[in-house]
Structure 1
């Protein structure tokens, strides 16, 4: 048993090294082509706030931004992120962007779509007021020759009041009806029961799946420390028709990676590598040519 554990740890170490070499190649090609709005400092890391092109349309309650030059001849992989305030939705989007741009754990910088330094709201208030599309256009050096559109949505449970919560949910449902796509339910892995807001929007989503507005509903389980999070039983008990389950622990994204204990370094490295493997699988799933009738997966 002990020898088996050593072998598994060694295999993970080798796999991590191979992933780092691949990411080195990507980031060295991409970094000179990425425009940065501002560099902030956090936990000894440089946070490069990406300079996004504003693509907003007047009189439309949707914000649109894009990174890189438009690549209209390439297909788009798209995912709408839906989750409660504090579910880790925004951090997950940033983790995916860092993966696409080739960042590895040992690097002294991270990318962010958002200004992390000047957040004026508490963690219990949604950081996203309106449905916001972020288009990450293909940049030479990326592994996948397609564009990705990530749609961030207002948090489901906002402490600013019932009316704000209702408005947030209506915004999300309206967008899904008008823009049929794959939807990712972002939910903490330790969730033992669904809130009223989660139950409400999931019932609406069931109807949207039947109507064809949601082409595939997937579960993005955050803060995951095991392969069998409690949230699985909760969702299965509510008979949620999801097709895939992806597990993430993004605590290493903006954590200090220098001057920490060996145990913390090992823990953060393993979490980073595991989450990036899930991200890679998710990005493959989002390719437009991938069929959505797959069985539930755990990554």
Structure 2
């Protein structure tokens, strides 16, 4: 079973790999606009499951979604799925380099797409899996250059799930879990690659998927992904080990790859600046 936190039921991208001729029409969109979308987005997880079940019962409880439900008489195609937790990766990148990321220090989605697709094997081989990559992002009230970023991702072949961020605690974790549940219901998830260091929300459901037969790979920064490194079920890959993921090496020293003679780890903040802010908090 895929564990889901109690609370709201989020929308989930329907996305490829359903063939276009099998997708329900999306009301209110012109033909030209629909053609530009990589995938229609249903109103809710319930609506998406309704298009997949075709009369078979759907579990009622929010935590009882099947991880590999097999529709009677309908073979499930194999799928390799990539899920990218954009807020988490961006935040943890800032943490490990001790600075705001620049264009040179941000991951390259084109190289990551190539690595992921290569891992799916020969697409002409019998039983080759379909591939799907999804980026989940919170969009602030002033999106700035995010429009160009989203369009670039779509051009690389990624589906993008964008949720407005109106409150500091708004997140997209449930959206990601919902979409994984949808795909686990419609396909046989052969490989699930999750780019996130968020063990609080993902450790338990991802380990359960491994128990049910899915190869789960967590890709994040080793400094902040202890849940995956220590797990006996999950495979962990440091994001900097993905070939071509960064234009140049990040300014970090990984504790899992220290040089034999050791290394100095420079402070990410001035000692005086820290003490000044510490004293200010203490004197309140």
Higher strand fraction (1 or 2)? 1
TM-score, structure 1 normalization: 0.32
Normalising by structure 2, what TM-score? 0.34
Q: Which has the larger radius of gyration?
A: 2
